[in-house]
Amino acid sequence: MADHIKITPAEGTWVVRAGGAVLGESTGALELREGDHPPVIYFPRGDIAMAFLDGTEKTTHCPHKGDARYFSVVTKSRTLQDAVWSYEDPKADVAEIKGYLAFTPMEEIAIERI
């Protein structure tokens, strides 16, 4: 694994909300720390209400993790464009995050340990 990336189980129960709706709750989330960036919580896809997410055309590439695809979150009042990402086929060094989703922290999205 790249020396600056560390993936560990995210202790406790984590919840993600958007527009007041609970999108998911998990005891199996992962915490990814990369360099001096804030930690990112990755939720197992099976713990997320995928009906709230729409796949988009956006993709990005990370030299350490691979190619990410994006999803928008559809709330009652608006669509949060490209607010969720997933590494569908991550590099071997970060294979643990395959099948997991990460959410962009913003005013409309809350990621909390409960």
Domains of the chain: residue spans and CATH: 5-113 (2.170.150.40)
Task: Please check whether residue 65 is in contact with residue 91, taking contact to mean a CB–CB distance below 8 angstroms.
Answer: yes
Predicted TM-score (pTM) above 0.85: yes
Closest CA to 18 of 99, 74, 61, 98: 74
* Six-digit token string for 20: 């007041």
Closest CA to 43 of 22, 64, 63: 22
pLDDT tens, residue order, the chain (114 aa): 456 899 999 999 999 999 889 999 999 999 999 989 999 999 999 999 999 999 999 999 999 999 999 999 998 889 999 999 999 999 999 999 999 999 998 999 999 999
Please report which helix (H) or strand (E) contains residue 55, including its range.
strand 53-62
d(C-alpha 19, C-alpha 62), whole Å: 29
d(C-alpha 76, C-alpha 52), whole Å: 10
User: Tokens 């991550």 belong to which residue?
Assistant: 90
